[in-house]
Chain A
């Protein structure tokens, strides 16, 4: 059972570079989301999607883009990386509705120099 798969697990970028964090799930979940977690802090919601073709902003969307062309994939794009985006990024998925359990990927650790 693959569940939620994130790639890459580690990445180092220079300021101004762009990159895409990949997230894929094989559970046919409608809902997918991206979080960032800074050291010693809780998770903050970046963007989320309730189905293919639908995305919405979370708490901290600036500097990030998402798209949802398929049910399985929800990539997160950093347009022009900044040191403030150094963080651990988690992707999660669930069934939609109020009772769905969120399944998390293992996280992607991003360092921006």
Chain B
């Protein structure tokens, strides 16, 4: 199974951009990169996913390195509500395991 590596924790100031890194050096060509976050006392929620090209949605942007061995989740203006654990996950195709393994994630602290 392809694995990801994330820093245990990061801090940010409110209203500043946040770049959350993820390394996935063993990624295969058909694996998608998914990001989820878990707010305190809640279940995880989907943030964004991508394959090769950078992706944007209303929550965040995903920047994927050209060799796909790393990616960065970008929160353009952090708010206190963005304080959460952020998980970077690789999802294999249906004909492989297709499961999603979360790992420990990065705990983001946002300071006012």
Residues of A within 8 A of B (CB): 31, 33, 35, 41-45, 48, 50, 56, 58-59, 90, 92, 96-107
Residue of B nearest to A94 (CB): B100
By a CB distance below 8 angstroms, the chain A residues around B105 are 42
Task: Assess whether B32 is in contact with A42, with CB atoms less than 8 Å apart.
Answer: no
Task: Assess whether A99 is in contact with B46, with CB atoms less than 8 Å apart.
Answer: no
By a CB distance below 8 angstroms, the chain B residues around A35 are 102
Residues of B within 8 A of A (CB): 30-32, 34, 36, 42-46, 49, 51, 85, 87, 91-94, 97-105
Task: Assess whether A97 is in contact with B98, with CB atoms less than 8 Å apart.
Answer: yes
Task: Assess whether B102 is in contact with A98, with CB atoms less than 8 Å apart.
Answer: no
Can you name 8 A-B pairs with beta carbons within 8 Å?
A43-B102, A45-B99, A45-B101, A98-B32, A98-B94, A99-B32, A101-B46, A106-B43
Task: Assess whether A98 is in contact with B91, with CB atoms less than 8 Å apart.
Answer: yes
Residue of A nearest to B43 (CB): A104
User: In the assembled complex, how far is the CB of residue B17 from the closest CB belonging to chain A, in whole angstroms?
Assistant: 24
Task: Assess whether B32 is in contact with A48, with CB atoms less than 8 Å apart.
Answer: no
Task: Assess whether B44 is in contact with A43, with CB atoms less than 8 Å apart.
Answer: yes
CA distance A44 to B49 in the complex (A): 20
Task: Assess whether A97 is in contact with B102, with CB atoms less than 8 Å apart.
Answer: no
CA distance A99 to B32 in the complex (A): 7
User: In the assembled complex, how far is the CB of residue B61 from the closest CB belonging to chain A, in whole angstroms?
Assistant: 17
